């Protein structure tokens, strides 16, 4: 026999969860294609897209195909792409000199994308790991046991100017050298590129989640391992306060946007950064995050579509204004389909 007894409750939070329409009305955080930045990998030549084995659905594109992919992303409402070159080993050396070649791959890619999709925001990485034989983000010290901070920054500021000349909208120093944001801002301004912005990888951690990316750009192959130790310049996973110090330094040196990388394992850092600055905050859902969701889905352990949406919603809820994610295109399609 059913009981007629009822709790005497004034507040019943479940009232606002009763139907999909009510849940949509009270949603505190929502996703939109305009939240996403799509990382894209580019290679030389005219071959077909080269799948990245550890990142299902991700490929390295030749420049023509890259431009077409950029146009498709823009049509889906994705406002920005971040370009990463994968260079032939013959173009790499110990000091990353290929980064200062005025006709290097990523600069040609920038020009092609801006021509094909002039309204798209184009972001380029300012770091030497795609250009070095050792896979580190800078020039090594004389004893080759660490990265030389100031020599590296000297290269990075010149690299940023070349990228600005090619038409990039935002340069993104991802190296974590001390003082590089101020040096890049000074070099850009001196060269007349006062409108070129800086998206600083301000809180970039020495993470185990970068392995698939290093396969994609070839830096892991160059170094012979996916486990490059970059702890002398990237943040240790143990430290929260140090991340805020880095963000505040980059802001003081002229960063326009600050970023946390990785995103999912560092939601607390994203929230800390959001509360510490009024600058826009980016977060990078890195290759390892993407790969593990795909891997678990392929095993039948997770629902791919639901998990990718939940992971991105959590990053935005933590405080990110924009998210670099390899799910950008698929999420944009899914959001468009959901709107009907």
Each residue of 108-126: pLDDT tens digit? 999 999 999 999 999 999 9
Distance CA 265, CA 166 (A): 35
Report the candidate in 57, 126, 51 with the shortest Cα–Cα distance to residue 85. Answer: 126
pLDDT of residue 224 exceeding 50: no
DSSP 236-278: PTT-SHHHHHHHHHHHHHT-SEEEEESSGGGHHHHHHHHHH-S
CATH architecture of 29-339: Alpha-Beta Barrel (3.20)
pLDDT of residue 32 exceeding 80: yes
Question: Is 204 one of the annotated active-site residues of the chain?
Answer: yes
Which pLDDT score, from 0 to 100, does residue 272 have? 98
Average pLDDT over residues 296-312: 97
Q: Count helices and strands (H / E) in the chain.
A: 12, 10
Question: Is 92 one of the annotated active-site residues of the chain?
Answer: no
pLDDT digits (tens, 9 = 90+) for 186-203: 999 999 999 999 999 999
Phi, psi for 110 (deg, rounded to 5) = -60, -50
DSSP 2: -
Distance CA 45, CA 33 (A): 31
Which pLDDT score, from 0 to 100, does residue 212 have? 87
Which pLDDT score, from 0 to 100, does residue 227 have? 44
Q: Are 290 and 233 in contact (CB under 8 A)?
A: no
In this structure, the dihedral spanned by the alpha carbons of residues 63, 67, 69 and 70, taken in order and rounded to 10 degrees, is 130
Mean pLDDT of the residues in the chain: 94
pLDDT of residue 293 exceeding 50: yes
Average pLDDT over residues 56-76: 97
pLDDT of residue 50 exceeding 80: yes
Which pLDDT score, from 0 to 100, does residue 228 have? 66
Distance CA 26, CA 17 (A): 9
pLDDT of residue 220 exceeding 60: no
Q: How many CB atoms lie within 10 A of CB 92?
A: 23
Distance CA 210, CA 82 (A): 16
Which pLDDT score, from 0 to 100, does residue 252 have? 98
Catalytic one of 204, 230, 316, 329: 204
Q: Are 40 and 84 in contact (CB under 8 A)?
A: yes
213: confidence class by pLDDT, cuts 50, 70, 90: confident
Catalytic one of 92, 114, 230, 261: 261
Distance CA 130, CA 49 (A): 19
For CA atoms 262, 263, 266, 272, give the dihedral sign.
positive
pLDDT digits (tens, 9 = 90+) for 248-288: 999 999 999 999 999 999 999 999 999 999 999 999 999 99
145: confidence class by pLDDT, cuts 50, 70, 90: confident
Which pLDDT score, from 0 to 100, does residue 340 have? 80
- pTM for this prediction: 0.94
């Amino acid at each position: 026999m059913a009981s007629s007894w009822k709790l005497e409750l004034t507040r019943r939070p479940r009232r606002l969860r009763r139907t999909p329409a009510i849940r949509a009305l009270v949603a505190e955080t929502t996703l939109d294609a305009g939240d996403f930045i799509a990382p894209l990998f580019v290679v030389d030549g005219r071959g077909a897209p080269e799948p990245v084995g550890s990142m299902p659905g991700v490929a390295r594109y030749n420049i023509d195909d890259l431009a077409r992919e950029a146009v498709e992303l823009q049509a889906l409402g994705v406002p920005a792409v971040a370009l990463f070159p994968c260079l032939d080993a013959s173009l790499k050396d110990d000091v990353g000199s290929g980064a200062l070649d005025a006709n290097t791959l990523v600069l040609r890619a920038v020009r092609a994308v801006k021509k094909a999709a002039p309204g798209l925001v184009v972001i380029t990485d300012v770091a030497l790991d795609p250009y070095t034989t050792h896979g580190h983000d800078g020039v090594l010290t004389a004893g080759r046991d660490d990265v030389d901070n100031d020599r590296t920054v000297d290269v990075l500021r010149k690299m940023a100017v070349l990228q600005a000349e090619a038409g990039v909208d935002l340069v993104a120093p991802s190296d974590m050298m001390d003082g590089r944001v101020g040096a890049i801002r000074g070099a850009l301004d001196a060269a007349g590129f006062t409108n070129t912005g800086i998206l600083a990888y301000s809180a970039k951690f020495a993470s185990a989640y970068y392995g698939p990316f290093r396969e994609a750009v070839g830096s892991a192959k160059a170094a012979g391992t996916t486990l490059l130790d970059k702890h002398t310049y990237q943040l240790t996973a143990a430290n929260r306060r140090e991340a805020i110090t880095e963000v505040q330094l980059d802001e003081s040196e002229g960063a326009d946007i600050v970023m946390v990388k990785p995103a999912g394992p560092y939601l607390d850092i994203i929230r800390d950064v959001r509360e510490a600055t009024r600058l826009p905050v980016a977060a990078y859902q890195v290759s390892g995050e993407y790969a593990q969701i795909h891997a678990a889905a392929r095993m039948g352990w997770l629902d791919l579509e639901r998990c990718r949406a939940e992971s991105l919603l959590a990053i935005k809820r933590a405080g990110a204004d924009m998210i670099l994610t390899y799910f950008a295109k698929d999420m944009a399609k899914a959001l468009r389909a959901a709107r009907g």
